[in-house]
Amino acid sequence: MAFPSQTATKVSTSSIVVAIIVAATGFALLGMAAGLLPGVTQGGYSNLRASIKADKQSIQATGDFLTYVMTIANTGTVKTDDIVALQHFAADTLSFVSAKTTGGFTCSVATGAADIACTGGSLKAGESATLSIGMKLLQNANACGVTGSAMSLMTVDPKNVIAEKNETDNAAKLSIAVPGTCPAVTALPNLTVTNLAVASTNGLVTATLGNAGKADATGSVGIYLYVDGVKTMTYSSTTLKDVAWMTYGNTSSISTSTVDTATVTSVKMCVDALEAVTESDETDNCQEVTLGSSATGTTNAAGTTSSTGTSTQDGTTAGIDLTIKKTGSVPTAKQGEPVSYTILVSNVGTTAATSVGVTDVFTDPFVYASATGTNGFVCALSSYTVVCKGATIGAGSSATITVVGSIGATGLACDTTKTITDVATVDPLKKIAETNEDNNKSTAQTVLTNPCSGSSVTTTTSGGGTVTGGTTTTTTSGTGTTLK
């Protein structure tokens, strides 16, 4: 049987090459038409997302430990290998201690470097890896009352080696507060006299002695009893035998002498009237009771009776009359801002005043730094009280005390305020007989604020708005590059 003749078709090599190019171009155009990105296959894509947080909101003391917890999530649809993450930190403030990781990452840092490199990560679609980086505070150069910060930036795929669908969420940063350290406040005793009473039946004087401070009182403490302004009895912690009240937090009831209730008009008891004990508060060392309505004056802590004053020819009142006025440097303040108070002590009487004392009780979170005075005032900090002593103020003259500090941690929520009130008192123990003691106190108020716009706690996500609150700041940026 004869077969039909077959005709061979010759195809040139150049035609094959052209066909391949056309086919490749067609597939590329189809891929572009389908919205595929470079490096993303028809079957899926990679997408890495970074976030960071810490186990503390602030660190203060040198050597304090802090753990950053960084999370890398693969929100794409395909497995991604050879992932690199870089954490940049403030090398002058923090130092690397250790790293604990998942997802196959291994972290290390070169000596003296400010970058922690974590390499070798591998994440399937939907998986996450956690990098726990232990750091410690290398040094705190912030002054007392000043709060700085330690910034840390984390970047995943910093050199953009991995083709991703979205690279705008590859970085996150976090700021940790570093408040300055302040001198420790010395714990001091605070001796008090309360419940002073005179029995109407037999005139027995009783009282309660106590220590409301934070430290024990030691030594022989003097207790004075004044009857109608005259010191009549002197006791001590040794002669009273019961010294339990000198231990802080304790009180003891005592009975002293008897008085004639038919003739006596006032009785006062003072503990540590000679100020032999350094105390946190010396304004409550005395208590006085009035027995009748015929008293001509009030008894002060030194046991003298203040006069009602006599008028001079020009109409002024003879004697000493101390006044005090306290003002703040600013009406409002935020955490870390400096604040100072000026205390003006004036003698509007006609007689010079010597050994003038002033106490200035301030309120947390005011952080004391220093106090200075004129006219011989010598000032020192005693717990939360500035005690100034030893001034001489002539008739018609004034002295000035300046208290300097700053605002510590306020604990305020975002966009809230609170007011602190500080009280200054001249002659708090009433040792000086004055013609008028109603003008011996002055207060100053400062409004503490925490505006959201100035908060150190802001969470920002690129393209997703801002959420503010707390004390941690997480910011997502779209750089995808290493912080320099």
Task: Say how far apart CA 317 and CA 312 lie, in whole Å.
Answer: 6
- Mind listing the pLDDT tens digit for each residue in 201-236? 899 999 999 999 889 988 878 888 888 888 887 777
Average pLDDT over residues 334-341: 91
- pLDDT score recorded for residue 114: 84
CATH 2.60.40.1530 in the chain is located at 48-181, 322-452
- Mind listing the pLDDT tens digit for each residue in 3-16? 344 333 343 444 43
Residue 144 or residue 346, greater confidence: 346
Q: Half-sphere exposure of residue 398, counting CA atoms within 13 Å on the CB side?
A: 10
Question: What amino acid occupies position 208?
Answer: T
Task: Say how far apart CA 114 and CA 91 lie, in whole Å.
Answer: 5
CB count within 10 Å of CB 443 equals 11
- pLDDT score recorded for residue 413: 81
- pLDDT score recorded for residue 344: 96
Beta sheet of 398-407, edge-to-edge order: 322-328, 338-347, 398-407, 366-373
Contact predicate 159/482, CB 8 Å: yes
> Is it the case that residue 352 has pLDDT exceeding 80?
yes
User: Residue 148 pairs with which residues in a beta bridge?
Assistant: 178
Average pLDDT over residues 248-252: 89
- Predicted TM-score (pTM) of this structure: 0.39
Q: Output the six-digit token pair for 308.
A: 């009602």
Q: Which CATH number fits domain 322-452: 3.40.50.300, 3.30.1450.10, 2.40.30.10, 2.60.40.1530?
A: 2.60.40.1530
Average pLDDT over residues 142-171: 89
Q: Which CATH class is domain 191-290?
A: mainly beta
CA dihedral 5, 9, 10, 12 (to 10 degrees): 180
Tell me what the pLDDT averaged over the chain comes to.
Answer: 78
Task: Say how far apart CA 468 and CA 151 lie, in whole Å.
Answer: 18
CB count within 10 Å of CB 143 equals 15
> Is it the case that residue 273 has pLDDT exceeding 80?
no
Residue 307 or residue 150, greater confidence: 150
> Is it the case that residue 25 has pLDDT exceeding 60?
no
> Is it the case that residue 144 has pLDDT exceeding 60?
yes
Question: What amino acid occupies position 62?
Answer: T
Angle at Cα 182 formed by Cα 180 and Cα 187, nearest 5°? 155
Average pLDDT over residues 413-437: 88
CATH of domain 48-181: 2.60.40.1530
Window from 268-282, 323-337, 355-369 with minimum mean pLDDT: 268-282
